[in-house]
Amino acid sequence: MAPHKALLMCLGLPLFLFPGAWAQNHAPPGCSPDLDPLYYNLCDRSGAWGIILEAVAGAGIITTFVLTIILVASLPFVQDTKKRSLLGTQVFFLLGTLGLFCLVFACVVKPDFSTCASRRFLFGVLFAICFSCL
């Protein structure tokens, strides 16, 4: 399947407008020449949108992980039983959010069968986890 057809199938028209989403034959600046072309958007310095998304997702992953550790560490200090019963739901929400931040990396790489399948399945599951906790 042509790259633009797979892109339309997976992500729809808005990402289709990014020039970095097209297939490339040579390694862009910032990428190793022996890197699989599937991962060019993760290291391409000429198309900064992938690097910016990685930075935001990385900050979100670190923040969510720290908040989860703080929430779990505060469990022995919670005296109220109503507040204590909500900690499981809050941790589950933070784990769903952590998964959504990790899924950004699957959306930055070029689409193929495995990334499209994981995006479609995990977006639904992770958003369902987050919304069920809310």
Report mean pLDDT in 10-residue bins for the chain, 134 residues.
46 48 65 80 76 90 96 90 89 95 87 86 93 92
Q: Which two tokens stand for residue 106?
A: 């699957």
* CA–CA distance, 24 with 86 (Å, rounded to integer): 49
- The pLDDT value recorded for residue 125 is 94
Q: Which two tokens stand for residue 46?
A: 């000429």
pTM of the model: 0.71
- The pLDDT value recorded for residue 53 is 86
Provide CB contacts within 8 A for 121, sequence distance 6+: none
Asked whether 61 and 95 are in contact (CB, 8 A), the reply is: no
* CA–CA distance, 53 with 69 (Å, rounded to integer): 24
* CA–CA distance, 10 with 6 (Å, rounded to integer): 6
Q: Could you tell me how many residues make up the chain?
A: 134
